[in-house]
Amino acid sequence: MKLLNTANQEVEAVDFGIVEVGATKSLEYFLYNDDGAFIDKIDIKIADQYQIQEVTVSSYPTELKKDEKLSFTLAWTPTLKIKEGLKVKLDVHYRRLYS
């Protein structure tokens, strides 16, 4: 399974850049099933425990057919001002089912 941005490029981390305190920035990403199996029980979590409360993952798919690509949304509402942009990694867990 691959994590893709809107330009269809594989990414390792989500880059929110700099966002003003209290404002929300939403980004669309895709899960692409390049595996030879049906995938279900998909669960996406923020890997960095310090960003869990500020970054949300919504409307992600819970299953993907072979070669299927579906979108999901990530949103960040910072509560503290930071000088650098925010990059977060995602933990994506799933189950493969081969027929």
CATH number (domain holding residue 82): 2.60.40.1230
Nearest Cα to Cα of residue 54 among 33, 37, 70, 78: 78
How far, in Å, CA of 9 to CA of 11, rounded? 6
Nearest Cα to Cα of residue 76 among 53, 57, 98, 55: 55
- pLDDT of residue 71 exceeding 90: yes
- Identify how many contiguous H helices and E strands the chain contains and give both numbers: 0, 9
Nearest Cα to Cα of residue 76 among 37, 20, 8: 20
Containing structural domain, residue 16: 2-97
Question: Model confidence at 10, in pLDDT bands (50, 70, 90)?
Answer: very high
Please give the mean pLDDT across all residues of the chain: 92
pTM: 0.89
The tally of domains found in the chain comes to 1
